[in-house]
Amino acid sequence: MHPRRRAFAFLATAAAVAATGTVASLAAQSSPRSPSAATPKRGGHITIARIEDSTSFDKTNVFQNESIWIAEQINESLYEAGNDGKTLKPWLATAYTKSKDGKTYTFKLRKGVKFSNGKPMTSADVKFSIDDARKQAKGWGYLDAAIKSITAPNPSTVVFHLKFQWAPFVADMALFANGIIPKNFAGQSRAAFYKHPVGTGPFMWDKRVVGQSVSLKRNPFYWQKGKPYLDGVTWTFVTDENTRELQLRGGQIQVDEFPPFNSIDKLKKTSGVTMSLFPSTRTDYLDMNELYPPLKDVHVRRAISYAIDRAAIVKSVLFGYGTPANSQLPPQVPYYDKNAGGLQYDLAKAKAEMAKSKFPKGFKVQMLVGSGAQVENTIGQILQSALKQLGITVKFKTEDTSTEFNDIQSNKYQLGFSYWTMDIADPDELVTFALDPKGGAFSFYTHYNNPTVTALSHQAQREVNPVKRAALYAKVQRIAASQANLGYLYYSPYRWAYTSKLHGFFVQPLGNYHLEDAWLD
Amino acid sequence: MGAAAESFAEAAVIEHRSGFRRRWYRTPSFVAGLSILGTIILLALLAPVASRHDPVQQNLLDILQGPSRTHPLGTDELGRDVWARLLYGARTDLRVAFLAVLFPFVIGTAIGLLAGYFGRWVDTVTNWFVNVVVAFPFYVLIIALVFALGSGTRNIYIAITIVGWVSYTRIVRGEVLVAKRREYVLAAQAGGLSNLRIIVRHLLPNVVTQAIVFAMSDIVLDILAIVTLGYLGLGVQPPTADWGKMIADGQTYLTTHWELSTVPGIAVVITALGLSLLADGLADLLRPE
Amino acid sequence: MSLTGYVVRRLLQLVPIVLGVTVLVFFLIHLVPGDPARTILGNHATPAKVALLHREWGLDKPLPVQYWRFLHRMARGDLGSSLFYSVPAGRLVVQRLPPTLWLIGLGTFLSVLIAVPLAALAATKRDRLPDQVVRAVPLVGLGFPPFWLGIMLLLAFALHLGRGFPVGGYGAGPLGHLHSMFLPSLTVALAIAPILVRSLRASLLEVFESDYVTTARSKGLPERRVLVRHALRNAVISTVSVLGVNIGFLVGGTLVIEQVYALPGIGQLMINSIFQRDFPVVQAVTLVFAIMVVLVYLLTDIVHALLDPRVRFD
């Protein structure tokens, strides 16, 4: 063949092939989707994008959700919360018995559980883990305060001796901070171990690119046979909500953590995307640091709390996906009192409270907001405008959200935003954290100190009768609400948008998710 | 150049100043720039009249509304009137930009005069400073300075001054180097006039025109810088309206209400266009025939 | 003078400038109100650590002494430790450099691709319609805030005109990088093209009217040859000069554009570090940016000298 014609023929063929391929792939995309199979498929890797980067994987000392939810894929506990967020399921333990006086708990450990390094889990590991956890005075140690000692009579039995009766004990054992690690930190120093922890969970440490991503891969020794289905998971750090959404739509990521409220309606209608609103125990608060004199005045705090138009916030910032908060506790938690009486919007009462306070003419205050946290920034501006009517001038300080969190933790703030998701199916954790100045967090970093409330809380911890306990917690909630220890803002569901190819992804009311159940089409 | 040519150029220097008055309305770019800028400044000054809304007044029940009779450009995510925020944003950004240009202009021109006139070690040291500052990308240094000093308009002025004086110094110094060889300067020196007098009364008026022309385009740069700082969250603080912050706030709603980010951006472009045209026209007018 | 001689001379001239850069970076920490040690340590500040830093850095000694120690640490490669991540700041910066370099490189390439044809068109058809249109480009184009341009492009390409380009992130492998970097680089290119167009057009016009060209024309040399050989060469020299001079602007522009497209480069590192109040990293990035610019100035000077031997004698 003439060279030119040969070339032409080749080109024509190539073009034809290309055209066919294009048509074929287009056709494949437009054909009706086959219904997703009910049987999980093995394999695949998912990427989850979130607004904050994890700060630490030391589960005994970290309070940041972005770190906790990853740590939970690595380390597991004796019992874990069920999908309703209230019942407790045996997990690394199969059963427990409680002594008559309620001060001794004996747990039977599950057989055949191995760490990701291949070594079997024994009672020595459990004892070591919990002993280590309860030593963390600046961390979650406060939840294990009731434990007097732990013994391991044989490799599959662990016995806890408590100082006194402790109602939330098993719920506490289900906390991630009490997750089981190899004894003696698998031969490493504590610090080195927690840079890439080892556990019994479905996933094990893969790698971390600081400031960008954390990756975990399948734990080949996982005790639940056949799981996890996924080969691995990567969590990336993308501060911009828009970018995350665009990445999800473009298939770059599979899961978008907390898409903006204003996108929910649109995402619900987007094909290929599942927009889920999971019932949550999430409550958002305005933190008022009592170390700043004006905020120590209860009338000032009541005034501020009265000035927050929660209904308007729910409508215009949450686009209706939330409810005004009226108590320290969220409705999903046992012993929540719907008559707790958290102050609601009333500008006249707000002004009256200011008049009664020591700062009737108002004062200047600094509000911490997270950069890229659209909801916070918007609410901040709403509050700035509302508080101006009380003579309070708000100046913003914008910080990265993790830094903001750190600053609040170290009390370097005046007004700030926080949220809480329960970590155990019991009110004690939050009540202690938020209202007990010695509860590990200086009363949610506000230094709120009301001895009556503290005493009631301690009583409730040891009260095993549910009716009496309910009454105690009701009192606690009412007193705290009337004193506006925090500005209770709103309750909202967990918002997760993910590709419709992902199945088995479920976020519990406690906020965490079990990735061993997830699989990709 | 020969003496004749020099005095001819000399005459031109003086002449074009009066030529300015005769020619400005015949220079299209100057007229166009003036009109555009003039309109914007007028609107900004008359903001309370041009819009009956308070730019910081939130209206949480009426957020993200489209254009209507009460809200010609609709409302933003907090129910604030967009047209009002646009106008008051013009006030903020224009005022900050004009002021932010002033300090570098004055300081830079002064240093340029001294460096060019006295030469030798003054010049060398000045050049060193200039080269060091110029080594930093404009935005990087501004952002680093605003970070170190803290946010707020006062620190924006300081940051822009520290970074911006350089261009003026270079321009003025260049002009001075040429001008100081001119007859009228040499004559003044021979005549025993003090250096200060020579600099202020003879050099300054002739070299400053180039600096003024540059200042016009520098304002554009400053507006962009302020808007960029606002976008990054390091600029003018809320609730003051600022175009940059408006673009940033609107970005969350990009996929649903893209006009929130687009409209303030267009405002920036039009303002910059007006200033650029003005600068071009001015350069044309002030160029010796 | 030989090329090497020129290069050596330029390098020597750079030394005081680089030193000056380090002085300015050194002073950044002292601009922050309060104790520099507390700023550096942030939330990790304990009285013991603060005292230690005071001793190591000589914070109670006179400034020149402090500067000397600072220089010493830098020479050892110690740019401080990230407060947020507890890793050396220098290492963080090096890790994040590639996307920024890609952005600058690809952005420059695209901007030349856009600007040169436009400028050539304008210069050859002077004062006629194409020229008028092209001259409008810098006027309008310079007013576009680069980040806004980026957002508009994002809107158009990533959302509406088909999902052709990934959003944010850097991609994997050279092709992946190219794919991810295209839109951001285009943004950079569009931001800098107006300046290039204006300067290039002016210098091309100069060339056309230069004695050399008119002489060549009068001698009857074919227009094409004249244009291509002489004008092109000068155009390249001009482009290199203009790019070099504006590199500060270009590099700085990448900072904001990285933010818009969520690119993990040093620009985004700087902005994140600012909100994380991670001062050592901010300082380290500022320094690296300045060094990059200085190197580019050097490079453009060398290329200029290569192309135009006359430069070496100034």
Cβ contacts (< 8 Å) between A316 and chain B: which residues? 60-61, 63, 77-79
Distance (Å, rounded) from C-alpha A422 to C-alpha A385?
31
- Residues B140 and B204 sit within 8 Å (Cβ to Cβ): no
Express as a percent the part of chain C with pLDDT over 70: 86
CA distance B156 to chain A (A): 16
Q: Are B137 and C251 an interchain contact pair (Cβ–Cβ within 8 Å)?
A: yes
At C312 the pLDDT is 59
Q: What is the average pLDDT score of chain A?
A: 87
CA distance B252 to chain A (A): 6
CA distance A247 to chain B (A): 13
Distance (Å, rounded) from C-alpha B210 to C-alpha B167?
11
Distance (Å, rounded) from C-alpha A258 to C-alpha A495?
5
Q: Is C104 a residue whose pLDDT tops 80?
A: yes
Q: Which of A17-26, A153-162, A212-221 has the lowest mean pLDDT?
A: A17-26
For chain C, what are the domain ranges? 89-307
At B230 the pLDDT is 83
Interface test with B, best of A398, A401, A495 (most B CBs within 10 A): A398
At A55 the pLDDT is 81
Which whole number is the average pLDDT over C293-304? 84
| A320: closest chain B residue by CA | B61
C104/B contact by beta carbon, under 8 A: no
Which whole number is the average pLDDT over C81-99? 85
At B210 the pLDDT is 80
Residue A77, classed as helix, strand or coil, is coil
At A35 the pLDDT is 42
Token pair recorded at residue A32: 């009706």
- Tell me which residue of A370, B144, A408, B149 sits closest to C280, measured CA to CA: B144
Cβ contacts (< 8 Å) between A378 and chain B: which residues? 77-78
A vs B, Cβ pairs < 8 A, gives 52
- Residues A213 and A462 sit within 8 Å (Cβ to Cβ): no
Banded model confidence at residue A36, pLDDT cuts 50, 70, 90: very low
Q: Is A24 a residue whose pLDDT tops 60?
A: no
Distance (Å, rounded) from C-alpha A37 to C-alpha C47?
61
Residue A502, classed as helix, strand or coil, is strand
pLDDT in tens, A473-487: 999 999 999 999 999
Q: Is B195 a residue whose pLDDT tops 80?
A: no
Helix (H) or strand (E) holding B251: helix B243-251
Q: Are B58 and A385 an interchain contact pair (Cβ–Cβ within 8 Å)?
A: yes
CA distance C49 to chain A (A): 17
CA distance A245 to chain C (A): 9
At C216 the pLDDT is 66
HEC profile for B35-63?
A: HHHHHHHHHHHCHHHHCCCCCCCCCCCCC
At C224 the pLDDT is 63
pLDDT in tens, B246-269: 888 887 787 778 888 889 989 988
Helix (H) or strand (E) holding A236: strand A232-237
- Residues A164 and A462 sit within 8 Å (Cβ to Cβ): yes
In terms of Cβ atoms closer than 10 Å to its own Cβ (0-12, 13-18, 19+), residue C247 is buried
Q: Which CATH superfamily is domain B3-286 in?
A: MetI-like (1.10.3720.10)
- Tell me which residue of B226, B102, B220 sits closest to B155, measured CA to CA: B226
Distance (Å, rounded) from C-alpha A97 to C-alpha B166?
79
- In the chain, the amino acid numbered A104 is T
Residue C281, classed as helix, strand or coil, is helix
Helix (H) or strand (E) holding A26: helix A3-30
The residue that leads in pLDDT, C61 or A96, is: A96
Express as a percent the part of chain B with pLDDT over 90: 7
Q: Phi, psi (5° rounding) for residue A519?
A: -150, 155
Distance (Å, rounded) from C-alpha C118 to C-alpha C196?
10
Residue C96 CB neighbours (<10 A):
26
- In this structure, what is the dihedral angle of CA atoms A180, A186, A187, A192, given to the nearest 10 degrees? -80
Distance (Å, rounded) from C-alpha B289 to C-alpha B39?
30
What is the ipTM metric for this complex? 0.80
Token pair recorded at residue A447: 């230094």
At A17 the pLDDT is 40
pLDDT in tens, A240-258: 777 788 788 878 899 999 8
- In the chain, the amino acid numbered A218 is R
**How many separate helices (H) and strands (E) can be counted in chain C?**
14, 0
Domain boundaries C89-307, corresponding CATH code:
1.10.3720.10
Pick from A242, A315, A382: which is nearest to B78 by CB? A382
Residue A299 CB neighbours (<10 A):
17
pLDDT in tens, C15-62: 888 888 888 888 887 777 777 777 777 666 778 878 887 877 777 788
Interface test with A, best of C83, C155, C167 (most A CBs within 10 A): C167
- In the chain, the amino acid numbered C23 is V
Distance (Å, rounded) from C-alpha C28 to C-alpha B143?
11
Q: Is A144 a residue whose pLDDT tops 80?
A: yes
Pick from A240, A381, A396: which is nearest to B78 by CB? A381
Residue B62, classed as helix, strand or coil, is coil
Q: Residues of B numbered 158-217 whose beta carbons fall under 8 angstroms of chain C's beta carbons: which are they?
A: 217
> How is residue A392 annotated by DSSP?
P
Residues with Cβ within 8 Å of residue A378, at least 6 apart in sequence: A317, B77, B78
Which whole number is the average pLDDT over C157-171? 66
Residues with Cβ within 8 Å of residue A190, at least 6 apart in sequence: A132
Residue with tokens 């919007």: A345
- Angle in degrees, 0-180, between the axes of helices B259-286 and B82-118, rounded to the nearest 10: 40
Relative to beta strand A283-288, strand A415-420 is: antiparallel
Residue A1, classed as helix, strand or coil, is coil
- In the chain, the amino acid numbered C218 is S
| A242: closest chain B residue by CA | B252
Distance (Å, rounded) from C-alpha A425 to C-alpha A168?
8
At B22 the pLDDT is 59
What proportions of chain A, in percent to the nearest 5, are helix, strand and coil?
A: 35, 20, 40
Interface test with C, best of B127, B142, B147, B278 (most C CBs within 10 A): B147
Q: Are B144 and C152 an interchain contact pair (Cβ–Cβ within 8 Å)?
A: no
Interface test with A, best of C84, C163, C260 (most A CBs within 10 A): C84
Helix (H) or strand (E) holding C200: helix C173-209
Q: Which of C71-80, C153-162, C289-298 has the lowest mean pLDDT?
A: C153-162
Token pair recorded at residue B22: 């005769």
Q: Are B78 and A316 an interchain contact pair (Cβ–Cβ within 8 Å)?
A: yes
pLDDT in tens, A280-289: 999 999 999 9
At C69 the pLDDT is 83
pLDDT in tens, B141-168: 888 888 888 877 888 899 999 998 998 9
Distance (Å, rounded) from C-alpha B19 to C-alpha B17?
5
Q: Phi, psi (5° rounding) for residue A153?
A: -60, -35
Q: Phi, psi (5° rounding) for residue A412?
A: -95, 60
Q: What is the number of alpha carbons within 13 Å of residue A336 lying toward its C-beta?
A: 18
Distance (Å, rounded) from C-alpha C182 to C-alpha C174?
12
Which whole number is the average pLDDT over C127-140? 81
Tell me how far the alpha carbon of residue B158 is from its chain's centroid. Answer: 15
Against a cut of 0.90, is the pTM above it? Answer: no
Q: Is A348 a residue whose pLDDT tops 90?
A: yes
B253/A contact by beta carbon, under 8 A: yes
Token pair recorded at residue A218: 């399948």
pLDDT in tens, A418-458: 988 888 888 988 898 889 888 778 888 899 999 999 999 99
| B269: closest chain C residue by CA | C143
Residue with tokens 């029940």: B61
Q: Is B174 a residue whose pLDDT tops 50?
A: yes
pLDDT in tens, B264-285: 989 988 998 888 888 888 877 7
B253/C contact by beta carbon, under 8 A: no
Q: Which chains touch C (3 or more CB pairs under 8 A)?
A: A, B
C220/B contact by beta carbon, under 8 A: no
CA gyration radius, chain C: 24
| B254: closest chain A residue by CA | A242
Output the furthest CA–CA distance in chain A (Å, rounded): 101
C142/B contact by beta carbon, under 8 A: yes
Q: Which of B89-103, C41-55, C278-292 has the lowest mean pLDDT?
A: C41-55
Residues with Cβ within 8 Å of residue C299, at least 6 apart in sequence: C244
Residue A288 CB neighbours (<10 A):
27
- Residues A453 and A481 sit within 8 Å (Cβ to Cβ): no
At A22 the pLDDT is 41
Q: What is the average pLDDT score of chain C?
A: 80
At A184 the pLDDT is 94
- Residues C193 and C253 sit within 8 Å (Cβ to Cβ): no
Q: Are C290 and B135 an interchain contact pair (Cβ–Cβ within 8 Å)?
A: yes
Banded model confidence at residue A112, pLDDT cuts 50, 70, 90: very high
- The vertex-C87 CA angle with C86 and C88, nearest 5°, equals 125
At B21 the pLDDT is 60
- Residues A413 and A407 sit within 8 Å (Cβ to Cβ): yes
Q: Which chains touch A (3 or more CB pairs under 8 A)?
A: B, C
- Tell me which residue of A282, A232, A249, A255 sits closest to A506, measured CA to CA: A255
Distance (Å, rounded) from C-alpha C288 to C-alpha C300?
18
In terms of Cβ atoms closer than 10 Å to its own Cβ (0-12, 13-18, 19+), residue B69 is exposed
In terms of Cβ atoms closer than 10 Å to its own Cβ (0-12, 13-18, 19+), residue A238 is buried
- Residues A125 and A119 sit within 8 Å (Cβ to Cβ): no
Q: Are A312 and B60 an interchain contact pair (Cβ–Cβ within 8 Å)?
A: yes
In terms of Cβ atoms closer than 10 Å to its own Cβ (0-12, 13-18, 19+), residue A42 is middle
- The vertex-C53 CA angle with C49 and C55, nearest 5°, equals 120
A44 Rama sector, left if φ>0, alpha if ψ -120 to 50, beta otherwise: left
